[in-house]
Amino acid sequence: MTTPTILEMRSITKEFPGVKALSDVSISVAEGEIHAICGENGAGKSTLMKVLSGVYPYGTYSGDIVYQGEIMRFNGVKQSEEAGIVIIHQELALIPELSITENLFLGSEIGRRGVIDWTEAQLRARELLQRVGLDDDPDTQIKNIGVGKQQLVEIAKALHKNVKLLILDEPTAALNETDSQHLLNLIVDLKTKGVTSIIISHKLNEIEQVADNITILRDGRTIETLDVHTGVDEDRIIRGMVGRSLESRFPDRTPHIGEVFFEVRNWTVQHPLDPSRLVCKNESFTVRRGEIVGFAGLMGAGRTELAMSIFGRSYGTYLSGQIFKDGREIKVNSVRQAIENGIGYVSEDRKSLGLNLLDTVKRSTVSADLKRISRGGVVDALKEYDVAEEFRKRLRTKVPTVEEGVSKLSGGNQQKVVLSKWMFTDPDLLILDEPTRGIDVGAKFEIYRIIQQLADQGKGVILISSELPELLGLSDRIYTIFEGAITNELPAAEADPETLMRSMTSVKKDALI
């Protein structure tokens, strides 16, 4: 092995106030290889790539980036791109209304003194498109070509910037099978032409197929680097990704599980913008009284989409499916109907979907069920105050008075306000989407206890979480989701991180119970 190293990141440590996102991460990429980075959500993959591409400028992290033998001090994406490092994000950075040509040269227009030379641009565009195997007219608007082709345009754009090191963040997450394959072939093809690639992906089968080496990150640390050519299989990767012991950081609880009272049958939902994509594929599941049901899946698997589409069709386009509660079919066509039918939904995005940050704790607490504390459309201020106070005490929200603005609260306390808001609607089924995201450990424990108390009151709880230990520690039963479909269902007692991760990364069904 004498291939020169193109990139070496040495002991990278990146801290955010209070959190160490990366600690002592090292990675070495050989010239002309495809290097995969694997890890759970939040393992630090994207942070590492942001450090590499200069999004987090030199000085905000410690450690060295050695690129082509030199220590680099990037002060922004522009500089890393000049050095030949181009990152393609999961959310494509193309402008839908502009043509392929216009997008290709956006920011590096071909021309003189601000006047674009369209003839030259066209010629260059055709040449670039040919290199990525795209035969569309360069005048086509981006919005008129599919996501798969858009990815190719992104790569062509990178080629135009003389890319030497191409970083792809979840490149196939939004693509179908054929497009994915096409893209992967292109990356392999580019490799033969001297372009090194770093690929971040949750799809282990794809990584196995194209990568030469795999570096595994976990909790902001490098765990190991595996050489694919010496025979690495998915199980081996998964073990590296999840291999941590479950700490006892969950309150004790003896579940009292009753009858099935909530059932979703054949739930099928279309992507809101792209009718050719299904975000929920014929999914069916049940929830029992007093039960905490976990939903495991990687980002983009369709967990939030499923939850929100059930919650009054607030996401996507409903195609088919039925919801039953206590044996009778219920209509849940709007959020209002969902609330009236005793369904509550705590969003994963507390700040943009969960709270009005201009409001006070008091007003937020009652905002999902104003009817209950008002008469003839007039809010009863006394009742409102009492309700807010009661929840403040019950959930031990740390706030001087309930008249305080929610924007001044810490994440954990804001989450408690959101939980109060939904507990006040007295739901039978509460859907919690990443309820502990961005919350410190102490507050997490308290929120776990609240969740358990809700279940013990006989409510059904659906828990969506990216943290496997959390799912395993809290749930009574777990469903796994992969690409919009439920791939497995198993009692938490029989689940372990490896089994879950396997079902979360492939359609293979393990022994269904």
Give the footprint of other proteins on residues 236-255 (CB under 8 A): none
SS (H, E, C) 196-229: EEEEECCCHHHHHHHCCEEEEEECCEEEEEEEHH
Of 34 and 306, nearer to other proteins (C-beta) is 306
Instruction: Provide the CA 167 distance to its chain's centre, in angstroms.
Output: 18
Of 78 and 336, nearer to other proteins (C-beta) is 336
Instruction: Lay out the site mask for other proteins across 416-455 (x = CB under 8 A, - = otherwise).
Output: -----x---------------xxxx---------------
Distance CA 17, CA 119 (A): 51
Q: Which stretch binds other proteins (CB under 8 A): 107-115, 248-256, 339-347, 483-491?
A: 339-347
Strands of 308-395, DSSP E? 317-325, 328-330, 343-346, 374-375, 378-379
CB 186 within 8 A of CB 206: no
Residues 208-237 that bind other proteins (CB under 8 A): none
CB of 307 to other proteins, least distance (A): 10
Starting at the earlier edge strand, list the strands of the sheet with 317-325.
278-288, 260-270, 317-325, 328-330
Q: Which stretch binds other proteins (CB under 8 A): 93-101, 259-267, 385-393, 475-483?
A: 385-393
CA dihedral 355, 361, 362, 365 (to 10 degrees): 40
Distance CA 473, CA 467 (A): 10
Considering only residues 161, 191, 236, 313, which one is a binding residue for other proteins as defined by CB under 8 A?
A: 313
**Burial environment of residue 66 by CB neighbours within 10 A (0 to 12, 13 to 18, 19 or more):** middle
Of 45 and 325, nearer to other proteins (C-beta) is 45
Q: Which stretch binds other proteins (CB under 8 A): 86-94, 115-123, 180-188, 247-255?
A: 86-94
Of 130 and 407, nearer to other proteins (C-beta) is 407
Helix axes 234-242, 497-505, angle to 10 degrees: 120
CB of 168 to other proteins, least distance (A): 12
What are the distances in angstroms from CA 417 to CA 363, 433, 434? Answer: 10, 15, 15
One-letter amino acid at 368 equals A
Residues 115-134 that bind other proteins (CB under 8 A): none
Angle at 203 between CA 265 and CA 65, to 5 degrees: 140
Count of residues binding other proteins (CB under 8 A)?
75
Instruction: Lay out the site mask for other proteins across 273-312 (x = CB under 8 A, - = otherwise).
Output: x-------------------------xx---xx--x--xx
What are the distances in angstroms from CA 39 to CA 46, 117, 457? Answer: 10, 45, 37
* 194 touching other proteins, by CB under 8 A: no
CB-based contacts of 399, cutoff 8 Å, min separation 6:
361, 392, 409, 413
Burial 235-264 (b: 16+ CB within 10 A, else e): ebbbebbbeeeeeeebeebeeeeeeebbbb
Considering only residues 54, 240, 354, 460, which one is a binding residue for other proteins as defined by CB under 8 A?
A: 354
Of 131 and 394, nearer to other proteins (C-beta) is 394
Distance CA 473, CA 179 (A): 38
By C-alpha distance, which of 173, 184, 178, 179 is closest to 208? Answer: 184
* 338 touching other proteins, by CB under 8 A: yes
Residue owning tokens 């504390």 = 373
CB of 397 to other proteins, least distance (A): 13
CB of 435 to other proteins, least distance (A): 14
Of 283 and 433, nearer to other proteins (C-beta) is 433
Of 152 and 355, nearer to other proteins (C-beta) is 355
CB of 331 to other proteins, least distance (A): 15
Of 117 and 386, nearer to other proteins (C-beta) is 386
Instruction: Lay out the site mask for other proteins across 462-491 (x = CB under 8 A, - = otherwise).
Output: ----x-------------------------
Considering only residues 324, 335, 426, 510, which one is a binding residue for other proteins as defined by CB under 8 A?
A: 335
Of 324 and 385, nearer to other proteins (C-beta) is 385
Of 146 and 255, nearer to other proteins (C-beta) is 146
Q: Which stretch binds other proteins (CB under 8 A): 122-130, 177-185, 203-211, 357-365?
A: 357-365
What are the distances in angstroms from CA 429 to CA 286, 417, 454, 497? Answer: 11, 18, 10, 26
Query: In the structure encoding, which two tokens stand for residue 451, read together?
Result: 């969740």
Q: Which stretch binds other proteins (CB under 8 A): 17-25, 140-148, 229-237, 481-489?
A: 17-25
Of 100 and 237, nearer to other proteins (C-beta) is 237
Considering only residues 115, 378, 511, 512, which one is a binding residue for other proteins as defined by CB under 8 A?
A: 378
Point out which residues pair with 28 in neighbouring strands. Answer: 8
CB 489 within 8 A of CB 285: yes
Residues 46-85 that bind other proteins (CB under 8 A): 46-47
Distance CA 28, CA 5 (A): 7
Considering only residues 345, 391, 448, 479, which one is a binding residue for other proteins as defined by CB under 8 A?
A: 345
